[in-house]
Chains A and B, each alone.
Chain A
């Protein structure tokens, strides 16, 4: 398996634009996590899914953020409208429900100017 695949690796956008980050989890994994890495908060959990269903989105910072998982092999994190303070590295991770170890993608570095 190629591991967790995220796209794009880098995204530069202007303030106010819509941004969509994509994630393909490891085949067979049924839990998916979206994290944001910042200096102040480290790896901050935004939302996680179990069997494609959002279980806890309490970490989503504002209504500007939304996430979907239409099927077991694809998830998106959308920011609309984007703001400069959203600039960070966003990671997607997946794992088997009965395991504790999660596998991470390489991340998307988002810059909002």
Chain B
């Protein structure tokens, strides 16, 4: 049972445009969400997070939006750069457990 889902396995965006990566979750107990970025042959690295008490968190070119009623979050990257090309994982956690559950990932390619 996949509690965190990323339905788009890949996304291709032109440099300078906006990249939007989506994530859905099923467990209403999740109260903290994270995005990780992964380059080939490396471990995932933390990118940005959001608590369930917020609906938006911004860090430079990266913004995460949370829609609790729809159990949906998205990561916006603007403007997209070729160095953003990587696999992006959405993750969710609940404060009453230590579990950190990841989605299946979306491969983003930013082309010139």
Where the two chains meet, the residues of A that have a C-beta atom closer than 8 Å to any C-beta of B are: 4, 31, 33, 35, 40-45, 48, 50, 55-56, 91, 93, 95, 97, 100-107
Q: Are A100 and B43 in contact (CB under 8 A)?
A: no
Identify whether the interface residues of A are mostly helix, strand, loop, or mixed. Answer: strand
Q: Are A106 and B46 in contact (CB under 8 A)?
A: no
Where the two chains meet, the residues of B that have a C-beta atom closer than 8 Å to any C-beta of A are: 2, 6, 32, 34, 36, 41-46, 49, 89, 91, 93, 97-105
Q: How far is the CB of B22 from chain A (nearest CB, A)?
A: 14
Q: Are B6 and A101 in contact (CB under 8 A)?
A: no
- Nearest CB in chain A to that of B105: its residue: A42
Tell me whether A100 and B44 are in contact in the complex, defined as CB-CB below 8 angstroms, given that A43-B89, A43-B105 are known contacts.
Answer: no
Q: A40, A45, A55, A93: which contacts B101 (Cβ < 8 A)?
A: A45
- Nearest CB in chain A to that of B51: its residue: A100
Q: Are A45 and B104 in contact (CB under 8 A)?
A: no
Q: B2, B32, B49, B99: which contacts A48 (Cβ < 8 A)?
A: B99
Within 8 Å CB of B44, what residues of A? 43, 91, 104
Q: How far is the CB of B31 from chain A (nearest CB, A)?
A: 10
Q: A31, A41, A91, A93: which contacts B2 (Cβ < 8 A)?
A: A41
Q: Which of A4, A31, A95, A101 has the most CB of B within 10 A?
A: A101
Q: What would 8 A/B residue contacts be, using CB atoms closer than 8 Å?
A: A40-B104, A48-B99, A55-B98, A56-B98, A91-B43, A93-B100, A104-B36, A104-B44
- Nearest CB in chain B to that of A104: its residue: B43
Q: B49, B89, B102: which contacts A45 (Cβ < 8 A)?
A: B102
Give me the 8 closest cross-chain CB pairs, A-B, nearest first.
A42-B104, A104-B43, A43-B102, A100-B32, A42-B105, A101-B46, A106-B43, A104-B44
Q: Are B45 and A56 in contact (CB under 8 A)?
A: no
- Nearest CB in chain B to that of A56: its residue: B99
Tell me whether A31 and B103 are in contact in the complex, defined as CB-CB below 8 angstroms, given that A42-B6, A43-B89 are known contacts.
Answer: no
Within 8 Å CB of A104, what residues of B? 36, 43-45
Within 8 Å CB of B93, what residues of A? 100
